Structure 1
Amino acid sequence: MKKFVVPMAFFAVIFLCHQVFAQQQKAQNPVIFADVPDMSMVRVGDAYYMSSTTMHMSPGVPIMKSKDLINWKIVSYAYDTLENVDALNLTNGKNAYGHGTWASSIRYHKGTFYVSTFAQTTGKTYIYTTKDIEKGLWKVSAFRPGLHDHSLFFDDNGKVYMVYGGGKIRLVELKSDLSGVNTDVPERIIIENASLPSGENIGLPAEGSQLFKVKGKYYLFNITWPKGGMRTVVVHRADKITGPYDGKTSLQDLGVAQGGLIDKPNGEWFAYLFRDFGAVGRIPYLVPVKWQDGWPVLGTNGKVPETLDLPMSKGLMPGIVASDDFNRKNGEPDLPLVWQWNHQPDAGLWSVKKRAGYLRLTTGKIDSNFLQARNTLTQRTIGPFSSGTTAVDVAMMKDGDLAGLGILQKNYGLVGVSVEGNSRYMVIIDAGTGKPIEKERVQLEQDKIYFKIDCDFSQKRDLASFFYSLDGKVWKTIGNPMKMAYTIPHFMGYRFALFNYARKQTGGYADFDYFHISDKKSPSN
């Protein structure tokens, strides 16, 4: 019998390797390991489109496209400028952190795409429309009030509604041209306590409404959060849009919640949801859906699966984040869609044309800290690891200027060049405790300097490490690793940020040669 031991072991190894390989060919949850919260999704033919929340960022309400529900690419934004007010412009000491526009709703109806959202900053509801979601111009209609976490819904009878609210879920009919609420039709409370199916002990009342119609029945998805529990998916069902509605707890696992339904052309169904995952932000998951007795049954035996019977991800680069050498050909946009400004920028104070192959950031106002600095250019960090690198020419910075590479959140971190009189210093500023503290400085004797920040989000480690280089090859650490923290005031995952701001006088500028992003841990670590 001994002669069979080696072959049997060999076949066992082959079998295990095959199983591992087969699993690697499937999609993995999370499907996007980056901050893409409050998703809303629609399928048009064989293409999927998704909108998400980026609040105080500009341009706002990113639109992403996929052919397989796994590999996504940013193709548009609903708006470039929300409204010209101090809070959105980071002027006169005001800001819109954690505000701006929140959960959106994307719909396709009779050849037109609709993306609706609302803003606490302005108190308005916005409906953006376009015939060409990837290349077309968006038209906007805005009205009061701001309908919280609403779901835009086109019914079969030609009427258009919004379902919104927290705890009490309300229904309003819109005017036929979608210019506002139809005040001739009274608002109705269609669910008195939408949180109830998840229990009596409610912490977060049901919100995040998304309404769907499947085979003649209405299905309303909400998120709730029982005290002492986790984020939970609650689904209500009715035969009429006005109710009555019956509710069920549909998923309670890993805190994966808030979202809705999407179907494939072959008849398969999924629920798109997100999960809070520490400093990287709120990350999207997909869970399979089966239909039983007219109800959507979410998950695999009530659990969120690690793998999905969908194509494997090709990675988040360059669809969600991407490197940029700031070289622009004629006809190309000044900035690729992966970039967003922290609040609305001053267009006269940044350029990729004044010096070919560089992004120039010029100071235009005096700021006391990084969070009030206008024209800070950002991209998402991604998990489980991401590294951002830049090179900056500081020759034309002025006394008091601070420029470099940061990670943006309320408890931010940055590594940059501080100009003080005739001297320049490389500094690291750590606001991980909520208060910015300079942890280290090194005198700089040259015009060009390289910076790098590594982010480790694996197992929610949430650690950022900072580096500098004099030649772009040999890297040295500066300061200590910083503990990142997701804070409610900003309500957003950390972002890589290129910045330059003035603390004494305006008019200085810094030229950024490139920004490179990687999903690999740096060898220097």
Structure 2
Amino acid sequence: MKQSIIRFTALLTLLAAFKLQAQPKATNPVIFADVPDMSMIRVGNNYYMSSTTMHMNPGVPIMKSTDLVNWKLIGYAYDTLADMDELNLANNKSTYGRGSWASSIRFHKGTYYISTFAQTTGKTYIFSTKNIEKGPWKRISFSPSMHDHSLFFDDDGRVYMLGGAGKLSLVELKDDLTGVKPGTEKVVIENATAPSMPEGRRGGLPAEGSQLFKVNGKYYLFNISWPPGGMRTVLIHRADNIHGPYEGRVALQDLGVAQGGLIDMPDGTWYSYLFRDYGAVGRIPYLVPVKWVDGWPVLGVNGKVPEQLELPAMKGLIPGIVHSDAFTRKKGDAALPLVWQWNHNPDNSLWSVKARPGYLRLTTGRVDTSFLQARNSLTQRTIGPVCSGSTAIDVSKMKDGDFAGLGLLQKNFGQVGVKMEGNQKYIVMVNAGGTGIPVEQERIPLEQHTVYFKADCDFTDRKDVASFYYSLDGKKWTAIGQPLKMAYTIPQFIGYRFTLFNYATKTPGGSVDFDYFNITDKL
């Protein structure tokens, strides 16, 4: 009897160990979507991350996780950055590729801080709140625009920003954070790119993307560089004093995974959060394990980015980073869920989810010349490796010259929608792939008020191809036009976005009603 109990106990132990080993684990990338320039903190058992969405509004998205893998949008640092032509898509101006860039998130004495900067306005911004999930956020702005800076609260109560490109400078901020203390600017690293630069070579991209940390009394500065003939590279500089001197080394060169910083877990485990340029879907986050050796953080497994991580598996990006929306709202609900962002500043008088309950109404308020200049285009991320977005539109209140439908937004965009010419409506597909010049590839007369559209995206192994479809009943789908060859371009500097749009080319005042937007991670 005793031997049977021993054998049974051993069997249970073996089964428990097998079950533990069989548990699914996280894989890289941890987020297969455009979440670049991450900055991250841990407060207790919660992790918070800010990121870049540039010309999208609201801006500086904030995400939360309890395991470093499964993230959910919880807010934004601001609704609008400023009221100006470039941000309003007015007078043929835009801020594509600019807006707000790399942010820095910090927690200090019970207050959360997020700082960022904008070429568009020439200013640096600091947002603060006691409640990161509910706000409100206090806003401070000052000149100049501090490029790729890291906000840093030191142990002696002083507050700094460190940043730049190639030549990195440190400034001390005023006690109330309203600006730079005069006379405190100092170059702390004359050539931060040097550790990654091949001997005798010139060119490449200089070290930038500064993120500064203090661990066990030493200062660690993370940067990204792109040496000529090489790949994006993680650099780390270390110092005993925030003013230097700093010694630097290459910390990681693999897959082009770079730019980020350090995060620790409650159990003492360390990771580096970084991102990888992955074609048209955008810049996607990776986690790399960190070990400490001789006072240096050593990134990766034998210098490589692992595919699998000793972390819980990702449950999916839907919901959390993207989400379907039926546009039905209960009392107390936000008008738009956090997954939605407008392309540039919206005109809030020209959109509504109340005018017709259960629908998003977009009304034209001016004449626009193109998709890229159209105001009140509502977007959310595409996701990889594949995804599909679909919608249904009531087009009964369009005016002559109006164009409304579903788009994939980037410089080389694609659209499927309804154009009204005189009293006749047409289903059309516009393709700006390859050259960035929009070409209407197909049109079909439309004789009904409701029409359905779908766009399928395939980012597998950077295939970067999208196909567009229409339906008259929401069941049978017909391909239209040619596949869109998607491309990540510098003028926009952002991954492709599903976009609901309506703009006038002749007479303002027309409107369309979107019944829903559905997104799936399957084709």
Scaled to the shorter chain, the TM-score interval is over 0.9
Which residue number corresponds to residue 188 of structure 1?
186
Q: Give how far 1:20 is off.
A: 12
Matched, 1:278 2:251: no
Matched, 1:503 2:505: yes
Residues in 2 aligned to 1:463 and 1:105: alpha-carbon distance in whole angstroms: 34
Q: Structure 2 vs 1, CA of residues 22 and 443 (structure 1 numbering), >3 Å: closer, same or farther?
A: farther
What is the aligned counterpart of 1:447 among 446, 449, 454? 449
Which residue number corresponds to residue 7 of structure 2?
none
The Cα offsets for residues 17-61 of structure 1, whole Å up to 9 and x where unpaired, read as x99995770001000000000000000000000000000000000
Equivalent residues of 1:279, 1:457 under 8 A apart: yes
Which residue number corresponds to residue 419 of structure 1?
420
Which residue number corresponds to residue 287 of structure 1?
288
Q: 1:173 is matched by which residue type in structure 2?
A: E
Equivalent residues of 1:23, 1:307 under 8 A apart: no
Matched, 1:474 2:476: yes
Q: 1:208 is matched by which residue type in structure 2?
A: G
Which residue number corresponds to residue 39 of structure 2?
40
Q: 1:258 is matched by which residue type in structure 2?
A: Q
TM-score, normalised via structure 2 length: 0.95
Residues in 1 aligned to 2:23 and 2:365: alpha-carbon distance in whole angstroms: 50
Q: Give how far 1:199 is off.
A: 1.7
Residues in 2 aligned to 1:170 and 1:368: alpha-carbon distance in whole angstroms: 43
Which residue number corresponds to residue 28 of structure 1?
27
Q: Give how far 1:481 is off.
A: 1.0
Residues in 2 aligned to 1:348 and 1:449: alpha-carbon distance in whole angstroms: 25
Equivalent residues of 1:236, 1:245 under 8 A apart: yes
TM-score, normalised via structure 1 length: 0.95
Which residue number corresponds to residue 77 of structure 2?
78
Residues in 2 aligned to 1:516 and 1:289: alpha-carbon distance in whole angstroms: 39
The Cα offsets for residues 42-92 of structure 1, whole Å up to 9 and x where unpaired, read as 000000000000000000000000000000000010000110001001111
Residues in 1 aligned to 2:403 and 2:440: alpha-carbon distance in whole angstroms: 12
Residues in 2 aligned to 1:289 and 1:20: alpha-carbon distance in whole angstroms: 26
Residues in 1 aligned to 2:482 and 2:21: alpha-carbon distance in whole angstroms: 41
Residues in 2 aligned to 1:83 and 1:20: alpha-carbon distance in whole angstroms: 54
Residues in 2 aligned to 1:125 and 1:199: alpha-carbon distance in whole angstroms: 30
What is the aligned counterpart of 2:515 among 507, 513, 516? 513
Q: Give how far 1:324 is off.
A: 0.1
Alignment map for 1:101-500 (pairs within 5 Å): 101-183=100-182, 185-200=183-198, 201=201, 202-433=203-434, 434-500=436-502
Residues in 2 aligned to 1:19 and 1:251: alpha-carbon distance in whole angstroms: 34
SS at the partner of 2:40?
Answer: strand
Q: 1:370 is matched by which residue type in structure 2?
A: F
Ranges of 4+ aligned residues in structure 1 off by more than 2 Å = 18-24
Equivalent residues of 1:126, 1:143 under 8 A apart: yes
Q: Give how far 1:480 is off.
A: 1.4
Residues in 1 aligned to 2:213 and 2:482: alpha-carbon distance in whole angstroms: 49
Q: 2:217 is matched by which residue type in structure 1?
A: G
Residues in 2 aligned to 1:471 and 1:120: alpha-carbon distance in whole angstroms: 47
Residues in 2 aligned to 1:193 and 1:19: alpha-carbon distance in whole angstroms: 51
Q: 2:31 is matched by which residue type in structure 1?
A: I
The Cα offsets for residues 292-333 of structure 1, whole Å up to 9 and x where unpaired, read as 000000000000000000000000011000000000000110
Residues in 1 aligned to 2:21 and 2:321: alpha-carbon distance in whole angstroms: 26
Identity of aligned residues (%): 70
Q: 1:333 is matched by which residue type in structure 2?
A: A
SS at the partner of 1:479?
Answer: strand
Q: 1:499 is matched by which residue type in structure 2?
A: F
* Structure 2, unaligned runs of 5 or more: 1-16
SS at the partner of 2:52?
Answer: coil
Residues in 1 aligned to 2:68 and 2:74: alpha-carbon distance in whole angstroms: 15
Residues in 2 aligned to 1:67 and 1:406: alpha-carbon distance in whole angstroms: 34
Residues in 1 aligned to 2:428 and 2:48: alpha-carbon distance in whole angstroms: 42
RMSD: 1.3
The Cα offsets for residues 74-132 of structure 1, whole Å up to 9 and x where unpaired, read as 00100001100010011111100000000000000000000000000000000000000
The Cα offsets for residues 239-281 of structure 1, whole Å up to 9 and x where unpaired, read as 0000000001000000000000000000000000000000000
Q: 1:103 is matched by which residue type in structure 2?
A: A
Q: 1:266 is matched by which residue type in structure 2?
A: D
SS at the partner of 1:197?
Answer: helix
Which residue number corresponds to residue 4 of structure 1?
none
Residues in 2 aligned to 1:303 and 1:39: alpha-carbon distance in whole angstroms: 20
Residues in 2 aligned to 1:62 and 1:485: alpha-carbon distance in whole angstroms: 23
Q: Structure 2 vs 1, CA of residues 22 and 438 (structure 1 numbering), >3 Å: closer, same or farther?
A: farther
Which residue number corresponds to residue 6 of structure 1?
none
Residues in 1 aligned to 2:305 and 2:380: alpha-carbon distance in whole angstroms: 28
SS at the partner of 2:86?
Answer: helix
Q: Give how far 1:136 is off.
A: 1.4
Q: Structure 2 vs 1, CA of residues 24 and 370 (structure 1 numbering), >3 Å: closer, same or farther?
A: farther
Residues in 1 aligned to 2:260 and 2:23: alpha-carbon distance in whole angstroms: 26
Residues in 2 aligned to 1:410 and 1:417: alpha-carbon distance in whole angstroms: 21
Q: 2:486 is matched by which residue type in structure 1?
A: M
Q: 1:342 is matched by which residue type in structure 2?
A: N
Q: 1:186 is matched by which residue type in structure 2?
A: T
Residues in 2 aligned to 1:459 and 1:118: alpha-carbon distance in whole angstroms: 33
Q: 1:444 is matched by which residue type in structure 2?
A: L
The Cα offsets for residues 196-224 of structure 1, whole Å up to 9 and x where unpaired, read as 11124340000000000000000000000
Which residue number corresponds to residue 53 of structure 2?
54
May I ask how many residue pairs the two structures share in their alignment?
504
Q: Give how far 1:186 is off.
A: 2.7
Residues in 2 aligned to 1:515 and 1:174: alpha-carbon distance in whole angstroms: 45
Which residue number corresponds to residue 11 of structure 2?
none
SS at the partner of 1:317?
Answer: coil
Q: 1:509 is matched by which residue type in structure 2?
A: S
